[in-house]
Amino acid sequence: MLTPARTRATRATLLVLMSSAALLLGGCATSPTGRSQFIAVSDAQMDQLGTTAFDQMKQRDKLSRDARKLGTARCVVDALIVALPPAGQRLAWEVQVFDDANPNAFALPGGKIGVNTGMWTVAKSPDELAAVLAHELAHVLSRHAAERVSQQMAAGVALEAAQSYSGARTSPENTRMLMGALGLGAQLGVMLPFSRVHETEADVLGQRIMAEAGFDPAAAVRLWQNMMRASSGGRPPQMLSTHPDPQNRIVALQARVAELQPVAAQARASGRRPACRM
Ligand SMILES: [Zn+2]
């Protein structure tokens, strides 16, 4: 029989071995903007992780009963999905609105999207809501969570958690790490911003997706300006803690507007005319 200490040692060894095996199996992928990525976890695992986390949030957190907000969010997401590459369209997308005054939104692997009611105080039009949701979808399409989990696996901590994640069975430490990797750190009170590289990629890709869906790419600039204004009085939105450097973000988003407006015009001419209402 193994003593507890021995069990812990064995488990630790096993984890290291499993992590090394996964790292050997892991390989180089290419992100939608052409960046090379190290990913050592399968899409199926990540989709499962995202779906489980989302199910738990739906049970734990308060869902909004505001049918109008839910309708707007779904309308915007439906319009964005049309513009996604086939891999993105295959996901089982689901949108929920959470009754939470903090202007925040997220999208998880597996296509699970959450928007807080507080987002409506910052996003003043469907196009502005599309800007924030396209940014979050872009994190998913670019497999940023998988990259973060893979980095954690290199540190030898994540694999078991990723494989057996169920909230109840995982240690609080592992849960925090995984939620952080999914971009849900803010929900647990730990700020884990995506890296600057991931943020830039999500901004570039997200703004393109919204334009290809027929939304106004300039709305991304307005959205972040509103977000900054919202932070001037009182507590800054969570989104600004996990999405730093809004000033530079706005400059870069503005610089791409002229190039993306013809893309949006073309999309609208080809019938992609989102008709969502706030
Ligand atoms: Zn982001």
Q: Which two tokens stand for residue 38?
A: 């190290």
Q: What is the secondary structure of 122-149 as a DSSP string?
A: T--SHHHHHHHHHHHHHHHHTTHHHHHH
Q: Ligand 1: distance of its center to the CA of 156 in Å?
A: 25
Give the residue-averaged pLDDT of 36-40. Answer: 86
Confidence of residue 181 (pLDDT cuts 50, 70, 90): confident
CB-CB contact of 60 with 184 (8 Å): no
Give the residue-averaged pLDDT of 259-276. Answer: 97
Q: Which helix (H) or strand (E) holds 115?
A: strand 112-116
Residue 13, pLDDT score: 45
Q: Ligand 1: distance of its center to the CA of 220 in Å?
A: 13
Residue 185, pLDDT score: 57
Q: Ligand 1: distance of its center to the CA of 181 in Å?
A: 12
The DSSP bridge partners found for residue 98 are 63, 116
The share of the chain scoring above pLDDT 70, in percent, equals 77
Q: Which long-range CB contacts under 8 A does 240-243 form with residues at least 24 apart? A: 241/186, 241/191, 241/193, 242/183, 242/185, 242/186, 242/191, 242/192, 242/193, 242/194, 243/193, 243/194, 243/199
Residue 196, pLDDT score: 84
pLDDT in tens, 46-103: 898 889 889 988 998 999 999 999 999 999 999 999 999 998 989 999 999 999 998 9
Q: Which two tokens stand for residue 136?
A: 């979050």
Give the residue-averaged pLDDT of 138-148. Answer: 91
Q: Ligand 1: distance of its center to the CA of 136 in Å?
A: 6
CA-CA distance, 97 to 117, in Å (whole number)? Answer: 6
Question: Amino acid identity, residue 234?
Answer: G
Confidence of residue 165 (pLDDT cuts 50, 70, 90): low
CA-CA distance, 79 to 225, in Å (whole number)? Answer: 24
Residue 79, pLDDT score: 98
CA-CA distance, 169 to 177, in Å (whole number)? Answer: 14
Residue 237 CB partners (closer than 8 Å, separation 6+): 102, 103, 104, 118, 122, 227, 230, 231
pLDDT in tens, 194-249: 788 899 999 999 999 999 999 999 999 999 999 988 877 667 777 887 787 888 99
Active-site residue 147, yes or no? no
The DSSP bridge partners found for residue 105 are 115
pLDDT in tens, 84-98: 999 898 999 999 999
Catalytic residue among 94, 128, 136, 201: 136
Q: Which two tokens stand for residue 216?
A: 């106004």
